[in-house]
Amino acid sequence: SQTIHQWPATLVQPVGSPLSLECTVEGTSNPNLYWYRQAAGRGLQLLFYSVGIGQISSEVPQNLSASRPQDRQFILSSKKLLLSDSGFYLCAWSEGLSRQADEQYFGPGTRLTVT
Amino acid sequence: AQSVSQHNHHVILSEAASLELGCNYSYGGTVNLFWYVQYPGQHLQLLLKYFSGDPLVKGIKGFEAEFIKSKFSFNLRKPSVQWSDTAEYFCAVMTNSGYALNFGKGTSLLVTP
């Protein structure tokens, strides 16, 4: 069966420090991968998605970047964190090779607090 | 602006009460609709989904939702809730033009014994 892992589970970082959040998926090949963020009092917002290795699409302009160095690995990064980067970050995957209306499977999330 | 609205942010019900959570969206064109649930301490998981066909869809654990195209709505219902239904519920919309699931802000449901 497929599983999705995220780490760390929680993170407290000072403003201006770098960030690296990792997501890995097991039990599937060529998945579509997604990074979402939930800021306080707001719904989940898609930040990035990837349909293949090295292919990253950004949905909103921001201080963050994403990379996909391996088929089942998705990394969310920042060179310098801002206070507004605080939030709950969720990684998700869906079956690749088919774009429409696929169920997305979510990881446990990372709670990031920027101080 | 395109959006997904969930009308109730916090709902408290007694066991055996009926549940209806509202969801409206403002996207035009063809949409695919989802309800996700997050139980305490667990991952976000799919409750049910609508792609096409019968507008009344049934999901897990006795939940159902009705797609009313003319009202841009996809309300979630359950005739009799249980204490184990205590969770956060999210409505989400996906258009045919993108990959994103566009979520509402969520509704926190507390079911009291």
Per residue in B38-72, pLDDT (tens digit) is: 999 888 999 999 988 999 999 999 999 999 999 99
Q: How many CA atoms lie within 13 A of A37 on its CB side?
A: 21
Helix/strand/coil for A4: strand
pLDDT of residue B7: 87
A58-A60-A65 Cα angle (round to 5): 50
The pLDDT, as a whole number, for residue B29 is 82
The total of other beta-carbon atoms located within 10 Å of residue A53's CB is: 14
Burial (CB < 10 A; 0-12, 13-18, 19+), residue A112, is buried
Q: Is the Cβ–Cβ distance between B109 and B86 less than 8 Å?
A: yes
Average pLDDT, chain B: 92
For B69-86, the pLDDT digits (tens) are 999 999 999 999 999 999
User: Touching check for A58 and chain B: CB below 8 Å?
Assistant: no
Picking from B43, B90, B99, the nearest residue to A99 by CB comes out as B99
In this predicted structure, the answer to whether residue B23 has a pLDDT above a threshold of 80 is: yes
Mutate to test the interface with B, among A93, A95, A100, A105 (most CBs of B within 10 A): A100
Residue ranges of chain A whose pLDDT lies below 70: 97-101
pLDDT tens digit sequence for B82-108 = 999 999 999 999 887 777 888 999 999
Q: What is the pLDDT of residue A43?
A: 80
Q: How far is CA A73 from CA A6, A19, A47, A65, in A?
A: 10, 16, 16, 14
Q: Could you give the C-alpha distances from A2 to A109, B26, B33, B38, B53, in angstroms and in order? A: 16, 33, 23, 19, 29
Determine the pLDDT at residue A76. Answer: 97
Mean pLDDT across chain A: 90
Q: What is the pLDDT, as a whole number, of residue A21?
A: 97
Distance CA A22, CA A16 (A): 19
The reply to whether residue A106 touches residue B90, judged by beta carbons under 8 angstroms, is no
Tell if the CB–CB gap between B101 and A108 is shorter than 8 Å: no
Q: Which residue of B has its CA nearest to A94?
A: B99
Percent of chain B residues topping a pLDDT of 90: 75
Largest alpha-carbon pair distance within chain A? 40
